[in-house]
Amino acid sequence: NAGVMQNPRHLVRRRGQEARLRCSPMKGHSHVYWYRQLPEEGLKFMVYLQKENIIDESGMPKERFSAEFPKEGPSILRIQQVVRGDSAAYFCASSPAGGRADTQYFGPGTRLTVL
Amino acid sequence: GDSVTQMEGPVTLSEEAFLTINCTYTATGYPSLFWYVQYPGEGLQLLLKATKADDKGSNKGFEATYRKETTSFHLEKGSVQVSDSAVYFCALSPGTASKLTFGTGTRLQVTL
């Protein structure tokens, strides 16, 4: 019974490149959340998606960041033209319908390093 | 906006010692409060929760009480084990909304 899967676990990019982070929710879950953890800080909410819809993107930076959760396939967090300040751990969580906070199941995270 | 403050780590204890990790919050209304645990190389797992004032959440020997008067949700365990070594995160969500606000995490190291 697989949990939330994230890949890659570690990603290295040079400044100006694009980073694509993938999240496969638990089976039967239709809600996905992305959080970012900068060094020495707590996790910060970025975006909440349901299949094919963005529900809340209040935590997403206005430029270079985008997220999608297509009808088929994993959720993708995309960062264009990465900068050193994007280096962080990115966590994905999923939940079944309803979206109550106590039913969010987290993946192991993707550690992004920007050189 | 909402925020969570928890004590800085690392916290190093001997096995069977008493554990307290402090957590205080700032929020409007009546948030739900959570403790998550992250073991090395794994994702965050929900450890316990409380949804209203004076509720006590408990799991695996850990407990925390929702104190509205002091806006606190301190995590306690009477006797820690080496297997409790992990990073502990305090978090809140406003009512039934999905968005979680986390503290910075406290690393616990338990030694024999």
Sequence-ordered alpha helix ranges (H) in chain B: none
Is the Cβ–Cβ distance between B48 and B32 less than 8 Å? Answer: no
Average predicted confidence (pLDDT) for chain B: 92
pLDDT: which is higher, A95 or B66 = B66
Pairing between strand B32-38 and B44-50? antiparallel
pLDDT block averages, 10 residues each, chain A of length 115: 88 98 93 89 89 92 95 96 96 80 84 96
Asked if B104's CB is within 8 angstroms of A35's CB, the reply is: no
Nearest CB neighbour to A106, from listed B43, B101, B105: B43
* Confidence band of B69 (pLDDT split at 50, 70, 90): very high
CB pairs under 8 A between A and B: 65
B29-60 pLDDT, tens digit each: 889 899 999 888 778 899 999 988 999 999 99
DSSP 8-state assignment for residue A58 = T
Q: How far is CA A25 from CA A8, B34, B102, in A?
A: 15, 21, 21
Give residue B43's pLDDT.
Answer: 81
Q: Which residues of B touch A40 (CB under 8 A)?
A: 104
The 10s digit of each residue's pLDDT in A77-98 is 999 999 999 999 999 999 887 6
- State the first-to-last Cα distance of chain B, in angstroms, to the nearest integer: 41
CB distance A46 to A23 below 8 Å: no
Task: State the smallest CA–CA distance between residue B21 and chain A in angstroms.
Answer: 15
A-proximal residues of B, 22-41, CB under 8 Å:
32, 34, 36, 41
pLDDT at B96 over 70: no
